[in-house]
Amino acid sequence: MNFESWWLIFLPLLFGLGWVAARIDFRQMLRESRDLPDSYFKGLNFLLNEQPDRAIDAFVEVAKLDPETTELHFALGSLFRRRGEMERAIRVHQSLLSRADLPAREREHALHEIAQDYLKAGMLDRAEMAYVELKNTRYQEPAARALVRIYESEHDWAKAIEAVRKLGRLTQESVPQLVHYHCEITQSFLDQRPPDIASARAALDEACAVIGADDKASAASRARVLMLEAQLARTAGDAALERRRLLVLLDEAPDYAGLVAADLRRNFEATQESDVLLECLASHYAAHPSLDLFDVLFGLTWGQQGQQAAWAFAQQALTEHPSLLGLERALATQLKCASAPLSQEAAPLGLIALPLMQKLIGRHTPRFDRYSCRACGFQARVHYWQCPGCHGWETYSAKRLEEQI
């Protein structure tokens, strides 16, 4: 196409049209901003100055003047929830949901908001209903996560299994907690009085199937399944099988040996084979030292070879792995089991009054004698598979705080 010089006369015309359009836009913007009540700008200003309380008052004023503004209601509801005013947050979102003319997209948004309100307010049944309604919407992923959390807190493991499988399909994420849900079901059958062994076995088979299908299964989940297999065997009166499962755990999840050290001791003592266990645990301790293994080894050595040998082991072990907790446990065994006082030569500590020494050490050990969550730092006297603080799975180390220093 050839350029014709007379086309140039259109240029000023185009500029003129652009100028007119810009003026119209600007006027429109000015008119709209004039239409907004002063309270809106006051609220915005309070928000920017991090004064959410005063911002809320200002926005409530705007909302009264213009009840149709959905965005403002969403902002208000969210502010109320953040401040913990759950009743007000729920009321705001309910009023949005009650509007017949609310577009579908905003209805989903309001449903997601009210579901979060219910969850934060602890109204789990209502939160569950709202989240279930959100499936097949753009909020399906956060809804699936929230449902998993709700079923976990209700200990509704069957629904949690279903929800976490769905979450896995939605996000392609691994869901390591799945095996733990089956373990929780197993444990609940074992805790019944009398224990329901057949149901526990069926639930544990499911856990084994999950682990079998996951070549990246963690040592923690393998340890838990093996511990439950051992507990199930013990409950069913099969001590030989219990022993085999516990010994497999030493191989497959060596860091978790401390959690089963006492069970191993009881199992081997029942058949007068403590000497076999002493040998086995001594070599395990050399590679994977832990406080609970030390405790059991000290007691076994004492029983098999006498208190002098036990203290010789303690001296070597505590030199290599200094531990106030270990020393306190050894002193407790000494005070409980010694029929005669420890001789001066054998006592690595010198013979100041042992009860006094135990008391002095005992004043400092409780703060180390805890398991701790790697994710949130929540501390507890017992080991948890799910952190009671942040609800993360497998976040607890199998070792106590002192051993992690």
Considering the complex, state which of residue 189 and residue 393 has its C-beta at the smaller distance from Zn ion.
Answer: 393
Site for Zn ion in 19-58 (CB under 5 A): none
Task: Read off the DSSP letter of residue 100.
Answer: T
CA separation for the pair 252, 84 (Å, rounded)? 46
Which range of residues in 49-57, 65-73, 127-135, 388-396 is near Zn ion by CB under 5 A? 388-396
C-alpha distance from residue 395 to each of 190, 220, 373, 383 (Å) = 24, 9, 5, 10
CA separation for the pair 96, 110 (Å, rounded)? 7
Considering the complex, state which of residue 199 and residue 397 has its C-beta at the smaller distance from Zn ion.
Answer: 397
Rounded to the nearest 10 degrees, the angle between the axes of helix 52-65 and helix 70-82 is: 150
| Beta bridge partners of residue 373, listed in sequence order | 396
Considering the complex, state which of residue 245 and residue 399 has its C-beta at the smaller distance from Zn ion.
Answer: 399
Q: Does 311 bind Zn ion (CB under 5 A)?
A: no
Q: Does 142 bind Zn ion (CB under 5 A)?
A: no
Cβ atoms of residues 265 and 300 within 8 Å: yes
Cβ atoms of residues 134 and 112 within 8 Å: yes
Supply the minimum distance, in Å, between the C-beta of residue 398 and Zn ion. 15
The answer to whether the bond into 388 is cis (omega within 30° of 0) is no
Considering the complex, state which of residue 254 and residue 389 has its C-beta at the smaller distance from Zn ion.
Answer: 389
Size of the site for Zn ion (CB under 5 A): 7
- The CB density around residue 92, as the number of other CB atoms within 10 Å, is 26
Site for Zn ion in 337-376 (CB under 5 A): 373, 375-376
Q: Does 303 bind Zn ion (CB under 5 A)?
A: no
Q: Does 389 bind Zn ion (CB under 5 A)?
A: yes
Among 93, 387, 402, 403, binds Zn ion (CB under 5 A): 387
Q: Does 401 bind Zn ion (CB under 5 A)?
A: no
Considering the complex, state which of residue 334 and residue 395 has its C-beta at the smaller distance from Zn ion.
Answer: 395
Which range of residues in 82-90, 167-175, 331-339, 390-398 is near Zn ion by CB under 5 A? 390-398
Place of tokens 């059958």: 189
Considering the complex, state which of residue 332 and residue 375 has its C-beta at the smaller distance from Zn ion.
Answer: 375
Among 378, 393, 398, 402, binds Zn ion (CB under 5 A): 378
Q: What are the residue ranges of helices labelled H in 121-172? A: 124-133, 140-153, 157-171
Give contact residues for Zn ion (rule: CB under 5 A).
373, 375-376, 378, 387, 389-390
